[in-house]
Amino acid sequence: MAAFEGNGRFTGRVAIVTGAASGIGRATAVLFAREGAHVLLGDVDRAAGEAAAREITAQGGRATFQFLDVTRAEDAARLVQRARREFGALHILVNSAGIIRRATVIELEESDWDRVLAVNVKSVFLLGKNAIPLMAESGGGSIINVASGWGLAGGPRAAAYCASKGAVVLLTKAMAIDHGPQGIRVNCVCPGDTDTPMLRAEALQMAEPEAEFLAGAARRPLGRVGTPEEIAQAIVFLAGNASSFMTGAALVVDGGGLAGA
């Protein structure tokens, strides 16, 4: 594999990325490593997470995988404790773990409601609760939560998902207010449909042929879905000095999907 080629803008920085085994999380971990950060990858998919870490290190980056169930307080604590133990600091947290269940409130099982809210919202609380004290000790930092365009506008048969991502947007703003005085910026990115395993799994949930479902997702001004790397670029922007006066923001990256909303 070719070595990473970046400008080193995060050299000496420590980043945690959840949901790092695939999709947006994996692309984000790769990009931070390319830019010099040591990345702690957390995910419930051990095999894919370890493979992602190996891919990064094989290309000259620095990455460590740790199993993480983002809904469990003890797992969140252990991941942050590892950052403290091995690096003595934490500068960046990306809450990228997420799931979707396509259903109305009538169709939705209570267990699915609970699971979506736990993975998509409780995780942000648990990781933030553990990470913020270490970030403050490190001189400040940046938290980026992955919300969704459907956290700003509703969508069909996605009641729990829309509720959870709307919560992430306002939780981001509340955290920004509370922790700005500690030098910690908290922003969220709101992607539109992005070509990830989760998006393709939605076709099955909606009982639609995958090609037909993806064609519908591409009906936006730019005429296509996004790539994980494009969302990762926005996340890295929010983590870096180029966004130093941004906090509490919800950055929409959706190919114009919400432009007419």
Residues tagged active-site: 161
For the chain, the distance separating the N- and C-terminal CA atoms, rounded to the nearest angstrom, is: 43
Alpha helices in 2-65 (DSSP H): 23-34, 46-58
- 177 Cβ contact list (under 8 Å, min separation 6): 248
> Helix or strand or coil: residue 6?
coil
What sign has the CA pseudo-torsion 175, 177, 179, 185? positive
Which residues 6+ apart lie within 8 Å of 68 measured at CB?
A: 18, 42, 43, 44, 75, 76, 79, 97
Provide the 3-class DSSP secondary structure of residue 145: strand
Alpha-carbon Rg for the chain, nearest whole angstrom, is 17
Helix (H, G, I), strand (E, B) or coil at 157: coil
Residue type at 154 in one-letter notation: G
Give Cβ neighbours of residue 220 (< 8 Å, ≥ 6 apart): 192, 193, 254, 255, 256, 257
- Among 230, 229, 221, smallest CA distance to 256 is for 221
- Identify the H or E element spanning 143: strand 141-146
